[in-house]
Amino acid sequence: MNLFCVGLSHHTAGVETLERFGGNADVDYRLRGSGCAEALLLATCNRIEVYGASESRVSTLDIARCLDRKIDDHISPESATFYRYEDAQCVRHLFRVASGIDSMVVGETEILGQAKKAYQASRLSGAVGPHLHRLFQRAFRVAKQVRTHTDITRGAVSVGSVAVDLAQKIFGDLRSCKVLVLGAGETSEKTARALVSRGVADLRVSNRSGERAENLAQLTTARVVPFENWPNECREIDILITSTSSEVPLLSREKLAPTLRQRIDRPLFIIDIAVPRNVDIGVNELEGVYLYDIDSLQSIAEQSLAMRRDQIAAAEEIIAQHVGEFEQSMTRGLSRAKGTAEHTAVEDGSLRASEL
């Protein structure tokens, strides 16, 4: 029995190609009909991969035809550049994918959840047998170990998540934080939503156009503050998000300093995502004020990404060790089990709660 992986990913294919080969509802059936003893489809927005086990070789073209949705005539199974990994290379590839090393954003953890879902779906349809069961269980273990023993998931890599992470490093629990969103743009809405998802309950919105403020307030269950009153809110709030289209700074050191005297024991975190900036850079020099503009947030996101990339070598070491161990265990375990007993165990067994 040989293990293989055939697929397309953001490294090798564009969105159109990924869409075309996303597979239909009967993909499991078609894959097994093409000669795969076991098959699992991992389909995300950045990758389409089939993991299979077969007695005799199933060609890449046959797999591609099984995945073909026939929705775009410009691309054909013959022309798409599928990659293929066999045996140890396939094991290594899956371990890298599950650990987030092969992802577009290195270290992202969403892929692990997607792999678990794909495994669960194929297990329920009976497409997963002992080979893929062992392979995926080991992949989940490897991913967990990589996450625990390296810093590959450390640090936020998008502007919104960097802002939320910084807020948590200043205030800890965000549930008691008061947030004012100044300007009802798309980025400030995203950042506000991210903060709400981390527990912020007191959200206020202020905008020159009252209608847009009302719209955003409805979307995020916020309270509207009249635009002329927003400076008074600085006495109470903990986080200020600004994204107005003002050509001149709305907040300067001179304007903010008197307000701060009344709240010297509480930090004020200002996220200025407007271009040009809404907050004068001198405000950051005030005691207890932490001002971040779009450049500094992006710079931190890039630093985090670079830090994650530095961790790839350490993650690869863990993976290499597991690939070796997995090959040995497969040889030992499968010769003992001789198939039948193992099949029963897999069909009856389910993913442990900790793995879902």
Total number of residues that touch another protein (CB under 8 A): 22
Residue in 158, 168, 252, 298 binding another protein, rule: CB under 8 A? 168
Question: Contact region for another protein (CB under 8 A) — 48-56, 65-73, 283-291, 330-338?
Answer: 283-291
Residue 223 binds to another protein (criterion: CB under 8 A): no
Q: Which of 45, 66, 90, 177 is catalytic?
A: 45
Residue 155 binds to another protein (criterion: CB under 8 A): yes
Distances (CA, A) of 127 to 32, 33, 97, 343: 8, 11, 20, 11
Residue in 12, 158, 252, 284 binding another protein, rule: CB under 8 A? 284
Residue in 5, 40, 132, 166 binding another protein, rule: CB under 8 A? 166
CB environment 162-189: b (16+ within 10 A), e (fewer): bbbbbbeebbeebeebebbbbbbbebbb
Residue in 73, 228, 265, 348 binding another protein, rule: CB under 8 A? 265
To another protein, the closest distance from the beta carbon of 311 in angstroms equals: 11
Lay out the sheet containing 83-86: strands in order across: 38-43, 47-54, 2-9, 83-86
- Nearest alpha carbon to residue 134 among 345, 312, 295, 308: 345
| Extended beta strands in 183-327, E state | 202-206, 223-224, 239-242, 268-272, 289-293
Tokens representing 171 are 């205030």
- Nearest alpha carbon to residue 259 among 289, 229, 235: 235
User: Cα-flanking dihedrals φ and ψ of residue 41, to 5°?
Assistant: -105, 125
To another protein, the closest distance from the beta carbon of 156 in angstroms equals: 10
Residue 199 binds to another protein (criterion: CB under 8 A): no
Question: Contact region for another protein (CB under 8 A) — 46-54, 98-106, 168-176, 326-334?
Answer: 168-176
Residue in 57, 149, 154, 332 binding another protein, rule: CB under 8 A? 154
d(CA 126, CA 115): 16
To another protein, the closest distance from the beta carbon of 20 in angstroms equals: 41
d(CA 96, CA 102): 6
Residue 309 binds to another protein (criterion: CB under 8 A): no
Q: Residues 251, 257, 263, 265: is their CA dihedral positive or negative?
A: positive
Residue in 12, 114, 296, 298 binding another protein, rule: CB under 8 A? 296
Active site residue 45: yes
Helices (H) and strands (E) in the chain, counts: 14, 10
CB 91 within 8 A of CB 143: no
Question: Contact region for another protein (CB under 8 A) — 90-98, 118-126, 137-145, 162-170?
Answer: 162-170
Residue in 29, 83, 171, 227 binding another protein, rule: CB under 8 A? 171
Residues that bind another protein (CB under 8 A): 151, 154-155, 166, 168-172, 264-265, 267, 284, 287-288, 290, 292, 296, 299-300, 303, 307
> Which residues are known to be catalytic?
45
